[in-house]
Structure 1
């Protein structure tokens, strides 16, 4: 009887060793993928059994029960992180679990370009295939409320940069990050500003930076464009900048700015209204903010585009008229 008992124990031990061997073989044997690379998503709050089902449904040929068992043996079952992942040929069940517990999510990117309007930014968000479009159907004011912004107008409040994010992230997360970064940069630059500038607060500096951004074809011209606008403000002159008028026209602008546009009153018509427009007209980058807050001292009051992306700057109206004749009228005889 005792001999039979020991034989049973030995048999059980052999079975356990064999099971562990099979599990080890399973853990380190590459799995078949429906395609490579393969993207899949683990939904938030998924228990391990549901994770295994999501993995299989995505096209990873793995035995769900064995994957659950392996996760428990390795104490990884409760450490799975939600998100979008990418695996390639050669991945093993153990490698898959390691990736899921590290939260090694696959990333996508979204470039937000200096000088874009908020409408262009929203269009880019709406078109991005790797984002969750939680802002769809929301008005601008509601978006600002959702991301914790106290402002009522979104233009200029978002920092232009290339944003990396885990696939299936909410577009509101990108908006929130861009908003917070712009606030951080604006306040930092404001604290370091040159004395004597004609701005009441950081928001007015942001407005000016947006004008500089839209009027600059080459980076080297930003400081000089800033000096022109600031000199005109300090002299009590109208800014007379086309991009503000175009912004005020909105979707009615067809690509041609006509004389009657410049004569039609609107809050953004700087040919008629003195001072800065009521809001930014685009999203300025750091260089435009620094130009607005650290302008060089010049006597320039005018500038005109040369046609090659650069501008010609003038101190007097006569100089400016000659530059217009040289660079504009010869292009439009």
Structure 2
């Protein structure tokens, strides 16, 4: 068999080799033309039956490159996760040092939305896992002092202390007076008495709390013992929980700060054309609105009535002011002589607002004072069936009064004798 060469020379048509078999005869003569032998091509180059190729050290394989890419991605994911964990536990929300009230039944998880809104990359899932692993006791109701710009970790540390302390409940209902508040604190055995001693009065309480500048000069210098240094209205009504042994000074200071914050916020966002010269006058009105109705939807309407009367230089003529001015003399009924008696508070006898608030108003009453309803009503009277009837004229008001008296007579007739 002739050996293959990289390039086989073209066949000559008349060559006797073209007619020969592949196997040469024994006696055949070699070709007269010399053929130069050329080394055979390495078949492995064609068949691929070679040893694995060896790559140079500075030329990584495709798989090695893929490995580096996977490691890079995993590293980025791990880095993002670490940043997220750090932001969740140590990211700070923007708020001043303040007190927070935790109500009965609240949970740690309920605190998370505030951080979610203010901290980038905050993860509620990470926070919940941290709470589950680090906090043993449930969230305890109480009043807690949070530091300025706290982290969730710092907040949890503060709140955990509440579970280790015995708590006392202090309930102050909207419309109650500062006198009621003082008595509640005096009677609570878990509250340490520093201010509310047996002989304390308005002046000594105001001096002990050092609330400089919050009372008008007319209140500070008044000869009326009810008016003089009266801190009425300045304490926020609510239900509070304090650690056993907390002082009455601390409680009163905390409740004052909360009321001041609510009043300042409402005053800054007040409606226009109101008849109040300063926040304190608005606080006085809020206390009257609080006493006049317990129906939240009616408060803006009651506010509108008093707003309209003051703008028309009409006397307010509100019964709760008579009662407050009577002090301990009030026995449950207002008589004609009580209406005719001129006290510092009787708005049937004095023009404008009374000198101080007459109760502890809620934040909603303060809001209603500074955002009265769009109404021209000048009068209102109870319906006898719940709520009040608001009217624009005296004739309409007198009819509403007659309707009320009729309802009350009907109710009395249906009441079985005792």
Q: Look up the match of 1:187.
A: 264
Pick from 121, 126, 145: which aligns with 2:207?
A: 145
Q: Considering only aligned residues, what root-mean-square deviation do their CA atoms show, in Å?
A: 1.6
**Greater RCO, 1 or 2 (C-alpha within 8 Å, sep 6+):** 1
SS state at 2:408 partner: coil
Q: Deviations over 1:271-311 (max 9, x none)?
A: 11110111100010011000000001201000001123411
SS state at 1:331 partner: helix
Q: Look up the match of 1:258.
A: 335
Aligned length: 233
Residues in 2 aligned to 1:309 and 1:162: alpha-carbon distance in whole angstroms: 26
Q: How does 1:24-39 map to 2 (within 5 A)?
A: none
Residue 102 of structure 1, CA deviation: 5.5
Residues in 2 aligned to 1:296 and 1:179: alpha-carbon distance in whole angstroms: 28
Higher strand share: 1
Residue 175 of structure 1, CA deviation: 0.7
Residues in 1 aligned to 2:308 and 2:318: alpha-carbon distance in whole angstroms: 14
Pick from 214, 220, 240: which aligns with 1:163?
A: 240
Correspondence 1:108 to 2:154: no
Correspondence 1:317 to 2:394: yes
Correspondence 1:120 to 2:186: no
Residues in 2 aligned to 1:329 and 1:187: alpha-carbon distance in whole angstroms: 44
Q: Which moved more, 1:205-214 or 1:105-114?
A: 105-114
Structure exhibiting the larger radius of gyration computed from Cα positions: 2
Q: Look up the match of 1:294.
A: 371
Q: Which moved more, 1:175-184 or 1:199-208?
A: 175-184
Residue 217 of structure 1, CA deviation: 2.8
Unaligned runs of 5+ in 2: 1-159, 216-228, 411-418
Question: TM-score, normalised on structure 1?
Answer: 0.67
Residues in 1 aligned to 2:232 and 2:363: alpha-carbon distance in whole angstroms: 16
Correspondence 1:221 to 2:309: no
Question: TM-score, normalised on structure 2?
Answer: 0.54
Residues in 1 aligned to 2:373 and 2:204: alpha-carbon distance in whole angstroms: 39
Residues in 2 aligned to 1:169 and 1:145: alpha-carbon distance in whole angstroms: 20
Residue 243 of structure 1, CA deviation: 0.2
1:208 touches 1:280 (CA, 8 Å); kept in 2?
A: yes
* Segments of 4+ moved more than 3 angstroms: none
Q: Look up the match of 1:21.
A: none
1:132 touches 1:169 (CA, 8 Å); kept in 2?
A: yes
